[in-house]
């Protein structure tokens, strides 16, 4: 805790002048980091629908997963309570810009999102894979096998996978599925041939639903880092989170989470 208080003090002093020239005269603008410390709570937006990263238990209204444990550790290291704010992928950016939460629990970094929100340094890297029914495994062996007229591809509306599906399958029919339905549920129900998702989520899906599988010869595409979305224009808060990510990486914290939740 003493170490994190030191990070807080050094970050505020070093960046206050950069954030506001008036800081040199002793009147720095208040950063979100200061606001969080004064409030005593860290507001974290999370969807609860991205197994095993963020999973909501409807019965207890609690969350579990890789990203959940990481955010709980961040709040603990800061010495504040954590306040979970229900969020949706389609409104992730809006939640940041409208000040509904201080940080999002973790998302793939994209240029489209980066135009509106800031991102921390990455904490893991993932890629996209196609998921189909095992019964269709003989018909589909590669990405190209899915890119055919009449093939139904279902993906969650507003996610990066919707954009990717349109790019990878221009000949197929791509449908954006609104919550609470999901792309993989459409595949299970036979209303779609395939969905695409992170290899992170796919690993859990095929364990939970034995009738699903990842296409055997489909390479990882759209490799991308996962990072923490933050408000733009606040270098103090962004630098603090980056310092935290760097420290936890050096301690092996994220390696432990990967082994526990992703089996890697």
Cβ neighbours of 96 (radius 10 Å): 23
CATH code at position 167: 3.40.190.10
Are residue 92 and residue 190 in the same domain, yes or no? no
Are residue 206 and residue 140 in the same domain, yes or no? yes
Question: Of all helices (H) and strands (E), which one includes residue 103?
Answer: strand 103-104
Q: Are 127 and 158 in contact (CB under 8 A)?
A: no
Are residue 39 and residue 144 in the same domain, yes or no? no
Are residue 56 and residue 170 in the same domain, yes or no? no
Distance CA 165, CA 130 (A): 10
Distance CA 236, CA 238 (A): 6
**Predicted confidence (pLDDT) at residue 23 exceeds the cutoff of 50:** no
Are residue 199 and residue 160 in the same domain, yes or no? yes
Domain that holds residue 190: 127-223
Question: What pLDDT is recorded for position 259?
Answer: 87
Are residue 117 and residue 232 in the same domain, yes or no? yes
Q: Are 156 and 131 in contact (CB under 8 A)?
A: no
Are residue 16 and residue 116 in the same domain, yes or no? yes
**Predicted confidence (pLDDT) at residue 20 exceeds the cutoff of 80:** no
With pLDDT > 90 as the criterion, what percentage of the chain qualifies? 70
| Cis, bond preceding 55 (omega within 30 deg of 0) | no
Distance CA 205, CA 131 (A): 9
Residues whose CB falls within 8 Å of the CB of residue 255, separated by 6 or more in sequence, listed in order: none
Are residue 91 and residue 144 in the same domain, yes or no? no
Are residue 107 and residue 136 in the same domain, yes or no? no
**Predicted confidence (pLDDT) at residue 263 exceeds the cutoff of 80:** no
Are residue 112 and residue 171 in the same domain, yes or no? no
Distance CA 232, CA 97 (A): 8
- Please report which residue ranges of 169-234 form alpha helices under DSSP H: 183-188, 199-208
Measured between alpha carbons, how far apart are the two ends of the chain, in Å?
Answer: 29
What DSSP designation does 219 have? P
Query: Looking at per-residue confidence, does 110 or 29 come out higher?
Result: 110
Are residue 106 and residue 205 in the same domain, yes or no? no
Are residue 203 and residue 96 in the same domain, yes or no? no
Average pLDDT over every residue of 174-188: 94
Q: What confidence category does residue 17 fall into, taking pLDDT thresholds of 50, 70 and 90? A: very low
Q: How many domains does the chain contain in total?
A: 2
Q: What confidence category does residue 68 fall into, taking pLDDT thresholds of 50, 70 and 90? A: very high
Residues whose CB falls within 8 Å of the CB of residue 203, separated by 6 or more in sequence, listed in order: 52, 262, 263
Distance CA 172, CA 170 (A): 6
């Amino acid at each position: 805790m003493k170490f994190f208080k030191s990070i807080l003090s050094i970050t505020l002093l070093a960046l206050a002048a950069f954030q506001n020239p008036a800081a040199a005269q002793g009147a720095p603008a208040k950063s979100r980091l200061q606001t969080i410390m004064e409030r005593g709570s860290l507001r974290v937006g999370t969807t609860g629908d991205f197994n095993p990263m963020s999973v909501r238990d409807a019965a207890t209204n609690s969350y579990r997963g890789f990203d959940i444990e990481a955010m709980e550790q961040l709040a603990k290291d800061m010495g504040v309570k954590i306040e979970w704010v229900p969020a949706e992928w389609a409104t992730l950016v809006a939640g940041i810009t409208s000040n509904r939460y201080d940080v999002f629990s973790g998302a793939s970094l994209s240029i489209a999102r980066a135009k509106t929100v800031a991102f921390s340094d990455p904490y893991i890297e993932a890629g996209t894979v196609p998921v189909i029914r095992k019964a269709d495994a003989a018909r589909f062996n590669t990405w190209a096998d899915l890119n055919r007229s009449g093939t139904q591809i279902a993906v969650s509306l507003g996610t990066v996978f919707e954009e990717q599906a349109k790019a990878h399958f221009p000949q197929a029919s791509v449908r954006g599925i609104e919550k609470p339905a999901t792309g993989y549920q459409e595949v299970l129900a036979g209303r779609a041939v395939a969905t695409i998702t992170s290899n992170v989520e796919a690993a859990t899906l095929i364990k939970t639903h034995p009738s699903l599988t990842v296409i055997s010869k489909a390479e990882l595409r759209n490799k991308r880092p996962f990072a923490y979305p933050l408000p733009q224009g606040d270098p103090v808060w962004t630098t603090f989170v980056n310092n935290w990510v760097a420290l936890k990486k050096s301690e092996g914290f994220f390696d432990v989470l990967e082994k526990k939740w992703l089996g890697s």
